Structure 1
């Protein structure tokens, strides 16, 4: 069973379009036009065109493209800020907010045509955002699933809490977990394909595959194809095997 996956996008519409082109080239070689493309969340923040990323994926799915998207922690923070700019996501450090420079929320607002918040009061910035961000974008993001289970592969943004049945995982764990998952060598059952923790290169650890190549920091956007549990990265030259470390 063939499945494509794309790591954290972070507003890089240009890199997303290039990843889709690599997938189209692989489809042309295999003759498979139906295998799904699963996007691993964090569509927004840091990069220059979060609005364009959401629009491309939302409209493409509506038109029948075989794409699926799981929710990332940055996607949830964006929605949470729109709902209440003074609320704090439970996965976020207490000294940070969505508009902190480290998180890149200002770039998401800019992609919707808003000027940088700077030191302006929160209330007018929030009112402008509510007027600028289409309700269709907000509804679509809110409806994204936290994970996709496909055969022997589990696609999720951050990972899962080891030893906890999938049905009992919390959304915060699936969107935010890091070291408790990354440092655990046990077999999780399905091979977990995730992003969230930015690396210089994709990594295969036997029990999980991390496809966050750091696109939000100016590095590549990773895309891969799975045949069962076997994985290849898609490059301009074609498939490159990604073997367990």
Structure 2
């Protein structure tokens, strides 16, 4: 049984990420692999710093796997087309519109996103400000990670579809068909994307999105087989 740590949606909260990594460092299994479930950017103030920390950790050879989230993909699609509206969003929105939080990401790269600025000027500044290395890193993020005991994914899986045939839109965006399904996947599915007040374990899945993008704590998880624990200031708490 290989222990693994898991960290849910970070959303530009670099201080929360440092705190989560400190909790992991104090655990007896410190040094075990960490899986990050995507959504590193948007809403919080420090998206650039989050990406730089994750890139640096991987460059140093830390056993970190970073998956792609829908917000990370949105950043790339905005850079390709500033008028892009993802059809998976519940209503027509640009990435820079307040509910999605892309303006906070651009601001973390030093882009002037003050209200009233021309959107084309903001986009031109973004193309200049966001390093190609950051774009390449996001573009190459895996969408899924399988182990003997777990399936790690940002949003979830579509019931009735084999893993090899899952569509990227579902892996980074799905909600109700996955969240409502009570069947057994054969392994515990570990995901984020749908924000709760705190991570929660269900019979067939573990939701690690505790709402850090909305100012709530970012608690890392520890997986020992299908047992799951949250790490925090008092140590481990079993889910």
**TM-score band, normalised by the shorter chain?**
over 0.9
Following superposition, the deviation at residue 87 of structure 1 comes to: 2.2
Note the residue ranges of structure 2 that are not aligned, 5 or more in a row.
none
| Mapping of residues 7-86 of structure 1, within 5 Å | 7-26=8-27, 29-30=28-29, 33=31, 35-86=32-83
After superposition, the CA RMSD in angstroms is: 1.1
Structure 1 counterpart of 2:223, from 218, 223, 226: 226
Aligned residue for 1:138?
135
Aligned to 1:96: 93
For 1:202, the equivalent position in structure 2 comes to 199
After TM superposition, give the deviation of residue 161 of structure 1 in Å: 0.3
Once the two structures are superposed, residues 71-99 of structure 1 have per-residue CA deviations (whole angstroms, 9 ceiling, x without a partner) of 00000001100111122224223521101
TM-score, structure 1 normalization:
0.94
Size of the aligned set, in residue pairs, is 238
In structure 1, runs of 5+ residues without a counterpart are: none
* Contact 1:163/1:188, CA 8 A, preserved across alignment: no
Inter-partner Cα distance in structure 2 for 1:82 and 1:142: 12
Distance 2:179 2:16 in 1: 26
Per-residue CA deviation, residues 152-182 of structure 1 (Å, 9 max, x unaligned), is: 1011000000111000000000000001111
TM-score, structure 2 as length reference = 0.97
Deviation at 1:238, TM superposition (A): 1.0
SS in 1 for 2:17: helix
| Residue of structure 2 equivalent to 1:116 | 113
The partner residue of 1:106 within 103, 109, 112 is 103
Of 127, 139, 144, which aligns to 1:147? 144
Separation in structure 1 between the aligned mates of residue 14 and residue 161 of structure 2, nearest angstrom: 35
